[in-house]
Amino acid sequence: MSHRRHAILWILLSLFAMVAITSWAPVGWLQNSVAEQVSMTRSWLGDEAANRAVKVANAVTQPLIVAAKGIESGAPQSNDGMNKMFGHVVNGGFAMFAWRGSVMIYGVVFRLFLLLCWLLPGGLILLGAIVDGYARRILKLSTFAYSSPAIMQGAIHLMIAMVGMPLIYVVLPAPLPPILPFALILAFAFGARQAVSEAPRMA
């Protein structure tokens, strides 16, 4: 599989997941998933990190006519409640779709905030991995050691996967460990190190 097709596959998977979940997932399940994610973040990273993520998610979803506190607590909303909230604008069928989308956006923003928080420490590790890979490449070129194109291609595919998996992490309404983004960054850094160290000599 080419690198371009691999990247497109991850994009399509994330888009399909978003549309499918927004269309068919039970609202109560979505709310409970978000509540469990908030609770897990509190236990793993502390109240301050969780409160900041909740604050950002509230700020984004409140303009979408979402009761953010109700979402955080995981309290299911009835169909009548949804129709009252959206009925003056849309019909009942789309009201539930709009509510699902709002709850999902809340979770997406919450997990995206956690992902962005890991970029600074992860970026420093990535920079070190690239520098180490470059040093290994220089050593190989100076000693005429073999550089494997297969390893380089595999490392690039690993990097693409580690970019694609955060997309799934962000849109998937499941309570996942909040340190998962950092683990994905570490895997991406390993792939970058291998790809740089195995890069062939430039003509």
- Summarised one tens digit per residue, pLDDT across range 126-164 is 999 999 988 888 888 777 666 677 777 888 888 888 888
Report which secondary-structure segment, H or E, holds 45.
helix 27-45
**C-alpha to C-alpha distance for 182 and 119, rounded to whole angstroms:** 8
- Residue 76 banded pLDDT, cuts 50, 70, 90: very low
The total of structural domains in the chain comes to 1
The pLDDT of residue 24 = 73
Mean pLDDT within 13-42: 80
Share of the chain above pLDDT 90, in %: 7
E strands, the chain, are none
**C-alpha to C-alpha distance for 9 and 12, rounded to whole angstroms:** 5
Whether residue 203 lies inside any domain: the answer is no
The pLDDT of residue 6 = 82
Top pLDDT among 76 and 100 is at: 100
All residues at 6 or more sequence positions from 77 whose CB lies less than 8 Å from its CB, including other chains: 27, 31, 67, 70, 99
Distance between first and last Cα of the chain: 26
Instruction: Supply the range of the domain harboring residue 40.
Output: 3-197
Share of the chain above pLDDT 70, in %: 77
Mean pLDDT within 2-9: 80
Whether residue 47 lies inside any domain: the answer is yes
Mean pLDDT within 56-74: 59
Whether residue 71 lies inside any domain: the answer is yes
Whether residue 130 lies inside any domain: the answer is yes
Whether residue 46 lies inside any domain: the answer is yes
- Summarised one tens digit per residue, pLDDT across range 80-131 is 444 444 434 444 455 566 677 777 888 888 999 999 999 889 889 999 999 9
- On average, the pLDDT of the chain sits at 77
Contact 156, 191 (CB under 8 A): yes
Whether residue 20 lies inside any domain: the answer is yes
- Residue 64 banded pLDDT, cuts 50, 70, 90: low
Mean pLDDT within 179-197: 88
Whether residue 202 lies inside any domain: the answer is no
- Summarised one tens digit per residue, pLDDT across range 43-62 is 998 899 889 998 888 888 77
Contact 102, 66 (CB under 8 A): yes
Highest mean pLDDT: which range of 34-38, 127-131, 192-196: 127-131
**C-alpha to C-alpha distance for 54 and 46, rounded to whole angstroms:** 13
